[in-house]
Chains A and B, each alone.
Chain A
Amino acid sequence: MRVRPGPLCGAVLVALGAVSLVETLRIRDEWPGAKLMPAVLAVAFAVLAAGHLAPSTVASAADRPAWPDAPRWRRVALVFGVLVLYVAGLPFLGLLPATALFVLILLRALGAFSWAVTIGLSGAIAVGSHVVFKRWLSMPLP
């Protein structure tokens, strides 16, 4: 994937600068007061956004983004997706089953373990986390 990060990130900084400027104008407080730092940030984001337009400042050879190839992207997306689903499912499934499922999927996806080892490890980690966090530390987990 070809991305030109300089202008893209510069645009993000312009947006953050605009948000800071709007906050500076919106806040009803004596100057400098609560509006001082948002004002400073508005100026800082504007300067940094301008800095992103000069390619030499953000795109040196050693600093160029190294995007992963498709299989690696899929691995990252899979792990992050499973993590998001784990957090989303935790309140409904409860700590023990959700954790067992989460670890099982990641062990299968990242490792080359047999089913017996995968299930054993998943169960052990889930039970261990249940005992430590719910029982010993009394965390109010679902």
Chain B
Amino acid sequence: MDTLGFLFQGFGQALTPQNLFFALIGSVLGTLVGVLPGIGPTSGIAILLPLTSFLPPTPAIIMLAAIYYGAMYGGSTTAILVNIPGEVSSVVTTLDGYQMARQGRAGPALAIAAISSFVAGTLGLVGLTFFAPPLADVALRIGPPEYFGLVVLAFSVVVSLSGASLVKGLSAAALGALLALVGLDPMSGVRRFTFGTSTLLSGIDFIAVIIGLFAITEVLVGVEASITAVSTAALGRLMPRWSELRRCGGTLLRATGVGFFLGLLPGCTPGAISFISYDLERRVSRTPERFGRGAIEGVAAPEGANNATTSGGFVPLFALGIPATPALAVLLSGLMIYGLQPGPLLFEKRPEFVWAVIASMYVGNVMLLVLNLPLVGLWARLVRVPYAVMAPLILLFSVLGAFSVRNSFGDVGMALAFGAVGYLMVKLGYPTAPLVLALILTPMLENALRQSLSMAAGSPLIFVTRPIAVVFIGAGLALTAWSLLGRPRRRTT
């Protein structure tokens, strides 16, 4: 069967009442996660991941994926209305979006954000549909050394997630790697870092770690900052003028190209890419002086790019099993919980699952357009919910989410401990995302490394004699160098 045949079959699955329902729930939750400052898609997926264990894999992953791309839609709402980005990827949207709101044009700014998100997100999905299967075919021919190279490439994300201090980012990643090794070694069966206790034999549950580091930490930081409710500006008329929509046509195509192709690369987070897209738009504009003063293209470019990036990020996730962002790393762990190993064989062994999820993303994008265009006033009102109500709710979901993984209060305790660790990390300027990424990637890295060395009787030369492995490792080093060179200009990512 060809790609379109599989896609139509996927639509058959995605349009069943159950899958439609969970795509809608995910889209609503994703928009909510995006709208509310203080909770991001990574923590949103982490909290809800254990709760989806009651569902079959297809609706569960459809819902979690919808939370991820839905958050990209919702992140612009507070960025435009109150100059507070709901997500890192919406930071640059504040530059022109908030200026438009101050000029009484919040409605057109929100509308162009939703339209850009829909167009670029859908075009990105077309790319995902036609790029992922051939990539998976190629990936079927790679062995452990090449896979090791791929994971090295994925690890290059750590540099761009490190913030102002590379040493701190790498330290966080090293801690994540150490935590990943706790428990029984799956290859030899020996105990590692268990300190003689049996409770650590099954390892540290990464969902508890993620809930602690993201959800609980975010609440503690929010409580410290004394976040209260945020008021909103008037929306004005909703739709942009026809001339403005025409002007944004080229912007959207460029944003889609930048977002999708850079989104394929590990290390290119939606936050970084929205900056690149905004910068590109300002450079090609005949009137660059309008940017920063309420230019509608200044909203369309970053919002389009970050949605195309989310679609692009699913290509290496599904085809190679490599997450490009921390949120996708959590989604990857969700797939593993269901015994689904993302990678080239997923397209061969579980085509009905992969294509149902991809088709559901097309459907989800339409749902999100409806949720974010006519209902934008409703979301704008939601940001007025007092933080005093939001904080206990997030903590409650965190506790119950951590408990539900293995029905264990030990995991809840672990989540609390990592909540405190995460808060201290934030206060000391240590990024938490590299820790999570290393926690998830280290077992893959170790397996590929040890299998490769076994193949070559212990010789590391195997990594330089296999051309594809050399290309992946070289690309990882090049991306690391690129991220290092670009660091001073991209501190916010």
**Residue of B185, B219, B400 contacting most chain A CB atoms (<10 Å):** B400
Contact of B167 with A57 in the complex, beta carbons under 8 Å = yes
- The listed residue (A9, A32, A84, A110) touching B428 by CB distance below 8 A is A9
Contact of B178 with A76 in the complex, beta carbons under 8 Å = no
Q: Which residues of the partner chain A approach B15 to less than 8 Å between Cβ atoms?
A: none
Contact of A23 with B416 in the complex, beta carbons under 8 Å = no
- What is the 8 Å Cβ interface bit string for chain A, positions 54-82, against chain B (1 contact, 0 not)? 00011010111111100011011001100
Which of B84-92, B188-196, B327-335 binds A? B188-196
Asked if A60 meets B427 with Cβ closer than 8 Å, knowing A111-B389, A121-B389, the reply is: no
Asked if A86 meets B399 with Cβ closer than 8 Å, knowing A103-B392, A137-B54, the reply is: yes
Complex CA–CA separation, A26 to B163 (angstroms): 36
Contact of A87 with B409 in the complex, beta carbons under 8 Å = yes
Contact of B220 with A79 in the complex, beta carbons under 8 Å = yes
Contact of B404 with A139 in the complex, beta carbons under 8 Å = yes
Q: Which residues of the partner chain B approach A97 to less than 8 Å between Cβ atoms?
A: none
Q: Which of B372-430 contact A (CB under 8 A)?
A: 386-389, 391-393, 395-396, 399-400, 403-404, 407, 409, 412-413, 416, 419-420, 423, 427-430
In the complex, whether B51 has a CB less than 8 A from a CB of chain A is: yes
In the complex, whether A141 has a CB less than 8 A from a CB of chain B is: yes
- The listed residue (B216, B388, B428) touching A65 by CB distance below 8 A is B428
Complex CA–CA separation, A115 to B187 (angstroms): 58
Minimum CB distance partner of B164 in chain A: A63
In the complex, whether B42 has a CB less than 8 A from a CB of chain A is: no
Q: Which residues of the partner chain A approach B220 to less than 8 Å between Cβ atoms?
A: 76, 79-80
Contact of A32 with B396 in the complex, beta carbons under 8 Å = no
Minimum CB distance partner of B193 in chain A: A23
Closest Cβ of chain B to A94, distance in Å, is 14
Closest Cβ of chain A to B346, distance in Å, is 26
- What is the 8 Å Cβ interface bit string for chain B, positions 82-114, against chain A (1 contact, 0 not)? 000000000000000000000000000000000
Contact of B395 with A83 in the complex, beta carbons under 8 Å = yes
Contact of A140 with B193 in the complex, beta carbons under 8 Å = no
Minimum CB distance partner of B458 in chain A: A32
What's the dominant secondary structure at chain A's contact region? helix
In the complex, whether A36 has a CB less than 8 A from a CB of chain B is: yes
Q: Which residues of the partner chain A approach B177 to less than 8 Å between Cβ atoms?
A: 37, 41, 44
Asked if A141 meets B400 with Cβ closer than 8 Å, knowing A79-B391, A91-B409, the reply is: yes
Contact of B392 with A125 in the complex, beta carbons under 8 Å = yes
In the complex, whether B175 has a CB less than 8 A from a CB of chain A is: yes
Contact of B166 with A57 in the complex, beta carbons under 8 Å = yes
Closest Cβ of chain B to A73, distance in Å, is 8
In the complex, whether A51 has a CB less than 8 A from a CB of chain B is: yes
In the complex, whether B170 has a CB less than 8 A from a CB of chain A is: yes
Contact of B178 with A111 in the complex, beta carbons under 8 Å = no
Complex CA–CA separation, A41 to B177 (angstroms): 8
Count contacts between A and B, CB distance < 8 Å.
Answer: 163
Minimum CB distance partner of A133 in chain B: B400
Q: Which residues of the partner chain A approach B393 to less than 8 Å between Cβ atoms?
A: 125
Closest Cβ of chain B to A99, distance in Å, is 6
Contact of A129 with B428 in the complex, beta carbons under 8 Å = no
Contact of B216 with A5 in the complex, beta carbons under 8 Å = no
- What is the 8 Å Cβ interface bit string for chain A, positions 87-105, against chain B (1 contact, 0 not)? 1001100000001001100
- The listed residue (B190, B226, B388) touching A107 by CB distance below 8 A is B388
Q: Which residues of the partner chain A approach B166 to less than 8 Å between Cβ atoms?
A: 57
Complex CA–CA separation, A107 to B393 (angstroms): 10
Contact of B450 with A52 in the complex, beta carbons under 8 Å = no
Contact of A129 with B224 in the complex, beta carbons under 8 Å = no
Contact of A36 with B416 in the complex, beta carbons under 8 Å = no
Q: Which residues of the partner chain B approach A135 to less than 8 Å between Cβ atoms?
A: none
Q: Which of A1-37 contact B (CB under 8 A)?
A: 5, 9, 13, 16, 19-20, 23, 27-29, 31-34, 36-37
In the complex, whether A106 has a CB less than 8 A from a CB of chain B is: yes
- The listed residue (B178, B419, B428, B450) touching A33 by CB distance below 8 A is B450
Contact of B165 with A76 in the complex, beta carbons under 8 Å = no
Contact of A62 with B416 in the complex, beta carbons under 8 Å = no
Q: Which residues of the partner chain B approach A62 to less than 8 Å between Cβ atoms?
A: 164, 491
Asked if A19 meets B165 with Cβ closer than 8 Å, knowing A33-B450, A37-B446, A87-B412, the reply is: no
Contact of A58 with B175 in the complex, beta carbons under 8 Å = no
Q: Which of B446-479 contact A (CB under 8 A)?
A: 446, 449-450, 453, 458
Contact of B192 with A79 in the complex, beta carbons under 8 Å = no
- The listed residue (B192, B407, B491) touching A139 by CB distance below 8 A is B407
A-B contact pairs, 23 of them (CB 8 A): A9-B171, A27-B190, A34-B187, A34-B192, A48-B170, A51-B167, A51-B170, A57-B167, A58-B165, A60-B164, A68-B224, A76-B220, A76-B224, A79-B220, A79-B395, A87-B399, A87-B412, A87-B416, A91-B409, A103-B392, A107-B388, A129-B396, A137-B404
- Leading 6 A-B pairs by shortest Cβ distance: A111-B388, A110-B388, A51-B167, A63-B164, A34-B185, A106-B392
Q: 18 other contacts beyond A62-B164, A79-B395, A87-B412, with CB at 8 A cut-off?
A: A13-B171, A23-B193, A28-B190, A36-B450, A41-B181, A48-B170, A52-B171, A58-B429, A65-B429, A68-B224, A79-B219, A79-B220, A83-B416, A87-B399, A90-B399, A107-B392, A129-B400, A141-B403
